[in-house]
Amino acid sequence: MTTNTIESVLNENRLFPPSPEFSQNAYIKSFEDYKQIYEKAKADPESFWAELAEKELHWFQKWEKVLDWQPPFAKWFVGGKINISYNCLDRHLTTWRKNKAALIWEGEPGDTRTLTYAQLHREVCQFANVLKQLGVHKGDRVGIYMPMIPESAIAMLACARIGAPHTVVFGGFSSEALKDRLNDAEAKLVITADGGFRKDKVVALKEQVDLAIADNGVPSVERVLVVQRTKEPVTMVEGRDYWWHELQKEASPNCPAEAMDSEDMLFILYTSGTTGKPKGVVHTTGGYNLYTHLTTKWIFDVKDDDVYWCTADVGWITGHSYIVYGPLSNGATTLMYEGVPRPSNPGCFWDVIEKYGVNIFYTAPTAIRAFMKMGDGLPNARNLSSLRLLGSVGEPINPEAWMWYHQVIGGEKCPIVDTWWQTETGGIMITPLPGATTTKPGSCTLPFPGIIADVVDLDGNPVNVNEGGYLVVKHPWPGMMRTVYKNPERFRNSYWEHIYPKDGQYFYFAGDGARRDEEGYFWVMGRVDDVINTSGHRLGTMEVESALVSHPAVAEAAVVGRPDEVKGEDIYAFVTLENNYSPSDELMKELKDHVAKEIGAIARPGTIHFTDVLPKTRSGKIMRRLLRNLAAGQEVAGDTSTLEDVGVLEKLRGG
């Protein structure tokens, strides 16, 4: 299959119904079944979720009330007692799954480790005891800043086991970003590693932790636990820093799971918003457990003999919900891979699929586009016939990439689930069910049962067929975020005050624009606010701007996303300089490095555009819309009447 055929057959009206073979064996076997479940859930969401909570999960004590909805604050399974680590581990030990592979891991250098459910349970219990020994109590927050190694999953599950909310910070973030997050969470302890392997280089994680907490930078942190991974030398502070392996081997493997309240906080995960400071998205226990469990089961159709692989990093919500909690709650075999495609091994994903016989593969459009660019040779050189289902997440997948994924990776036999969701939603919201839904390349299709989603105008009225509008959710769901950590007002005004239905209902507004076609299928158009989605990472423009302005040469900065074939969007920064500085190539490089240092390599701007002026409104707001047009090399579209000085545009085009 060559790329040419893909382009010539590309047609967004093409339909891909599930094959009869797939449907027969799937949990949800037909569109009629989906419709029936969907309508039942819509008519009475509470009974729908309650029945499943009862059937699919273990509860120490049943809830008294299914839903307590005091908009915008929801509580699910009120009064219920549950532990997600128990549901992910203990309950499988009394079944044949005890000795089934829970976690298959491969490191970037090629080292491997497989943990059965019994082994994973033992490690988690021991580590939970280590945490207790170091003074971590129920309710204390624990920071996790780790490479993609089994210990990151063990650490998360151990925190969950004793009721200490974790906050995982992506290992690619810099010490500054780590510091902000640890401070906001007031973490008592940080779990890290000496380093990790990324693109054939060693990333010195412990060093970043040292920088973050140096000079009392994070006053709440009392202890640091360090996994030995790279064996590079690190500084260990007596009485503060401890080696994981030393404490782990002494710890008792006996640690009963704490009976948590259904609404006890499970974790905080930080996500960028439009205004500078990242938001601490709070997820709780019972509802999140049910939601990630059920979505994993029905969307990925995971069966006991499947090897399931999600390529995300545990530092993102996708890693939380669909590497760790969802798959393990189902008793599945989840694969974790430390590596990413890199010059020394661009085909490493296909090697992993062949080596482990991966059946279900979940990745991001940015990765798919990068593979497409490298050509069909690499995947064609491997046996990918074990694959039976493919997934996509992170941004809209363009039909070309969808078709390539379908043909070259899926061999035209695997359904593709294009899953729309967010850190805030906890789990997948709009998606095909692979045995039931006819897919259309580029559409995430229809809402999961129990999810009442729509596309509306600012008054909350549904827009016309194929008309763009705001993507909203009209009824609470078990996996939804509960609040912004320590900032309920910000939760309210970030998500619940954009759309005002006249009848006083509350709609959750996700920040995305979308349209629905004749059949009600959703086509997500992207973020309507100022967030850049680069290589599947969502970055607030404000964060990048603040980083630029923190450099002495920079007077002002305005950052926009520029469409990029591979990354989705690339960061394009307009920068004005202080008087005693002038534009140069060195300065350009210095500024890019500066942003990478302040935020992390993922935020490194692709372009720095020096300019004397920025287009502003009379109220002093930078008109990003115009800058987006300029960055993309397009004509400036739309209204420019609010511009303070129209001459600015000419200057910018010239610059």
Residue list for the binding site: 198-201, 318, 394-396, 418-423, 512, 527, 535, 538, 549, 551, 554
Which of these segments, 152-160, 377-385, 389-397, 558-566, binds ligand WT7 (CB under 6 A)? Answer: 389-397
**d(C-alpha 244, C-alpha 468), whole Å:** 52
C-alpha span between 273 and 328 (Å, rounded):
30
Helices (H), 74-227: 84-85, 91-93, 117-133, 150-162, 175-185, 205-213
What are the backbone dihedrals phi and psi of residue 222, each rounded to the nearest 5 degrees, phi first?
Answer: -100, -35
507 counts as binding ligand WT7 under rule CB under 6 A: no
Q: Where are the alpha helices (DSSP H) in 556-617?
A: 585-598
Spatial separation of the C-alpha atoms in residues 323 and 330, rounded to whole Å: 11
Q: Shortest approach of ligand WT7 to residue 182 CB, angstroms?
A: 20
Q: Which of 230, 419, 483, 534 binds ligand WT7 (CB under 6 A)?
A: 419
**Measured distance CA(559)–CA(548) in Å, rounded:** 9
**Residue 14 corresponds to which tokens in the numbers above?**
């093409």
For the bound state, the minimum distance from the C-beta of residue 145 to ligand WT7, rounded and expressed in Å, comes to 18
Question: Smallest gap, in angstroms, from Cβ of residue 537 to ligand WT7?
Answer: 7
Distance spanning both ends of the chain, measured CA to CA: 44
CA–CA dist 48, 290 (Å, integer) = 12
Q: Count Cβ atoms below 10 Å from residue 504 Cβ, excluding itself.
A: 7
| Closest CB 129 distance from ligand WT7, rounded Å | 33
Q: Is 599 in the site for ligand WT7 (CB under 6 A)?
A: no
362-379 burial, b if ≥16 CB within 10 A, otherwise e? bbbbbbbbbbbeeebebb
Element housing 542 (H / E): helix 541-549
CA distance 523 to 444: 6
511 binds ligand WT7 (CB under 6 A): yes
Task: Find the shortest distance in angstroms from Cβ 536 to ligand WT7.
Answer: 6
Q: What is the DSSP letter of 345?
A: B
- 473 lies in the binding site for ligand WT7 (CB under 6 A): no
| Stretch of 104-112, 286-294, 401-409, 509-517 contacting ligand WT7, by CB under 6 A | 509-517
With binding defined as CB under 6 A, does residue 568 bind ligand WT7?
Answer: no
CB of 119 to ligand WT7, least distance (A): 29
Question: Who's near 54: CB < 8 A, 6+ residues apart?
Answer: 62
> How far, CA to CA in Å, does 616 sit from each of 22, 530, 606, 623?
55, 15, 23, 5
Alpha helices in 416-528 (DSSP H): 488-495
Instruction: Give whichever of 538 and 567 is closer to ligand WT7, judged by the CB atom.
Output: 538
Alpha-carbon span 161 to 145, nearest angstrom: 19
By beta-carbon proximity to ligand WT7, the closer residue of 108 and 569 is 569
The span of 44-52, 60-68, 393-401, 494-502 binding ligand WT7 (CB under 6 A) equals 393-401
Per-residue mark of binding to ligand WT7, 327-346 (x: CB under 6 A)? --------------------
Residue 453 engages ligand WT7 in binding (rule: CB under 6 A) = no
The binder of ligand WT7 chosen from 265, 317, 384, 389 (CB under 6 A):
317
Q: Which residue is nearest to ligand WT7 (CB)?
A: 423
Please name the residue that has the structure tokens 């993922």: 602
Q: Rule CB under 6 A: is residue 421 a binding residue for ligand WT7?
A: yes
Does the protein bind ligand WT7 through residue 148 (CB under 6 A)?
no
Q: Which of 451, 508, 454 is nearest to 37 (CA)?
A: 451
Residues annotated as binding site for CoA? 198-201, 318, 535
Residue 324 found at the interface with ligand WT7 (CB under 6 A): no
- Token pair recorded at residue 483: 């609040």
Per-residue binding letters, 247-286, with ligand WT7 (x by CB under 6 A): ------------------------x---------------
Nearest residue (CB) to ligand WT7, 338 versus 418: 418
Residue 444 as a binder of ligand WT7 (CB under 6 A): the answer is yes
394 binds ligand WT7 (CB under 6 A): yes
x/- letters, 524..553, toward ligand WT7 (CB under 6 A): x-xx-----x----x---------------
Q: Which amino acid is residue 230, in one-letter code?
A: T
Among 180, 210, 264, 512, binds ligand WT7 (CB under 6 A): 512
Binding test (CB under 6 A) with ligand WT7, winner from 395, 400, 454, 570:
395
Number of residues that bind ligand WT7 (CB under 6 A): 22
Q: Which is nearer to ligand WT7, 372 or 444 (CB)?
A: 444
DSSP 34-100: HHHHHHHHHH-HHHHHHHHHHHHS--SB--SEEEEEETTEEEEEET-EE-HHIIIIIHHHTSGGGGS
- Establish if 510 lies at the interface with ligand WT7 (CB under 6 A): yes
Q: What is the phi/psi pair of residue 364, to 5°?
A: -115, 150
Binding-site positions for ATP read 394-396, 418-423, 512, 527, 538
Q: How far is the CB of 322 from ligand WT7 (least distance, A)?
A: 9
Backbone angles phi, psi at 109, to 5 degrees: -70, -5
Q: Give the footprint of ligand WT7 on this chain (CB under 6 A).
A: 271, 317-318, 393-396, 418-423, 444, 510-512, 524, 526-527, 533, 538
